[in-house]
């Protein structure tokens, strides 16, 4: 059976009792192994003021690319609301100059969405449409999740990431500026041509990421760019996001047909029971995010107390959509996710307390999926 390619999404999680420095070293180590095991890409996320170390994607991508030889390395995704178009192009142009043809530039609306969420919070939380859980080919599609009222920590973090008085620009306009700078066609509103060096002419593969059938999916389709749909973040809206992207797609110089990568949380071990034990604190970690505290350092399953029923209710949709088990168990569920979404590629994020367990999770999955493993 022909499988779609598999890639890695790494949040550089800090384990309870560990440090950010160790988490970053673990990321570089995992990237080396992922290349040997046959994964197509190695992407890092952008998060701030939480128990993960992936706060500076461009810097981390440079370290990963320098430690590997051929695997594509990139961002999933740069939060555009916190960066200017010029800063993004120059940073990723530098990466491409040093590692030509290997860098993926993933762009996301998180910064803009944060600003919108803060503005909307003044009017109170907006509840998503009510919907029952649906199961398609074994893939669970829960109702969309609403974060409700935003925490003071969220507002404080957003404020620190913005210059005083700054406003996040329109996402589509910022993507347009990035593409113009890369293509050498950028002109300021008053008619001045500007050329980014490095940046102009960079061999970057540009992606748009989104969690719903909203502006990101529509923009990616309209521009004819590849699209990343975040099942691991928003499993209740992924199918709609992919459909919206395909409906909006227009062929471009980049793509003749739509290209979709879908993400999934997965923990793989030798047996289903062992994998369930390793993943038993995923709910604790997710609860720390949804309860407004921000992601805590990843808890140790050997010492963590069980979640209460009330806590479990808050994270149930993420627990039932995490793929946990022996290699065949997880591979079967990933294959079902690919069928349901029509994904051209899957990107897997695997978080465990111990680095060795995370390495083993990706190795077992690569072997079961049939990736082309290289000699170490």
pLDDT at residue 158 greater than cutoff 80: no
The tokens for 21 are: 């420095």
Which pLDDT score, from 0 to 100, does residue 162 have?
79
Separation of alpha carbons 304 and 55, rounded Å: 26
Q: Strand 260-268 relative to strand 6-10: parallel, antiparallel, unpaired?
A: unpaired
The dihedral through the CA atoms of 324, 327, 333, 337 has a sign that is positive
Question: Are 61 and 93 within 8 A, CB to CB?
Answer: no
Question: Are 58 and 95 within 8 A, CB to CB?
Answer: yes
Give the DSSP H/E element, type plus range, for residue 329.
helix 327-341
Total count of residues recorded for the chain: 376
Domains of the chain, each with CATH number or no CATH: 6-369 (3.20.20.30)
Q: What is the pLDDT of residues 282-304, one digit of tens each?
A: 999 999 999 988 899 999 999 99
Q: Of 77, 66, 8, 76, nearest to 358 (Cα)?
A: 8
pLDDT at residue 323 greater than cutoff 70: yes
Q: Of 339, 340, 346, nearest to 371 (Cα)?
A: 346
Please indicate whether residue 107 or residue 130 has the higher confidence score (pLDDT): 107
pLDDT at residue 171 greater than cutoff 50: yes
Q: Of 78, 89, 147, nearest to 112 (Cα)?
A: 78
| Mean pLDDT, range 259-273, rounded to an integer | 98
Which pLDDT score, from 0 to 100, does residue 374 have?
58
């Amino acid at each position: 059976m022909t499988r779609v390619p598999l890639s890695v999404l790494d949040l550089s999680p800090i384990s309870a009792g560990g440090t950010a420095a160790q988490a970053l070293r673990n990321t570089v180590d995992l990237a080396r192994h992922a290349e040997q095991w046959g994964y197509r890409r190695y992407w890092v996320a952008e998060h701030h003021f939480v128990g993960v170390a992936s706060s500076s994607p461009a810097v981390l991508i440079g370290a990963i690319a320098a430690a590997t030889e051929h695997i594509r390395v990139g961002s999933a995704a740069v939060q555009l609301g916190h960066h200017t178009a010029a800063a993004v192009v120059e940073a990723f142009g530098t990466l491409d100059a040093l590692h030509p043809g290997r860098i993926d530039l993933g762009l996301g609306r998180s910064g803009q969405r944060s600003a919108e969420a803060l503005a909307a919070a003044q009017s109170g939380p907006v509840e998503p449409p009510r919907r029952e859980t649906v199961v398609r080919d074994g893939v669970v599609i829960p109702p969309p999740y609403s974060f409700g009222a935003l925490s003071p920590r969220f507002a404080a973090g957003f404020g620190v990431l913005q210059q005083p008085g700054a406003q996040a620009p329109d996402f589509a306009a910022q993507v347009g500026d990035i593409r113009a700078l890369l293509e050498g066609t950028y002109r300021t509103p008053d008619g001045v041509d500007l050329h980014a060096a490095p940046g102009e002419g960079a061999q970057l593969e540009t992606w748009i990421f989104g969690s719903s059938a909203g502006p990101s999916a529509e923009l990616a389709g309209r521009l004819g760019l590849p699209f990343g749909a975040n099942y691991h973040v928003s499993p209740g809206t992924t199918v709609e996001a992919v459909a919206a992207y395909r409906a909006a797609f227009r062929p471009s110089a980049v793509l003749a047909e739509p290209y979709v990568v879908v993400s999934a949380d997965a923990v793989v071990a030798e047996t289903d029971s062992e994998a369930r034990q390793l993943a038993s604190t995923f709910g604790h970690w997710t609860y720390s995010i949804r309860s407004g505290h921000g992601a805590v350092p990843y808890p140790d399953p050997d010492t963590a107390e069980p979640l209460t029923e009330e806590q479990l209710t808050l994270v149930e949709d993420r627990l039932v959509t995490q793929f946990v088990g022996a290699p065949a168990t997880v591979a079967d569920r990933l294959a079902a996710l690919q069928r349901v979404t029509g994904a051209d590629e899957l990107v897997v994020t695997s978080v465990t307390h111990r680095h060795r367990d995370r390495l083993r999770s990706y190795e077992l999955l690569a072997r079961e999926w049939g990736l082309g493993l290289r000699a170490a």
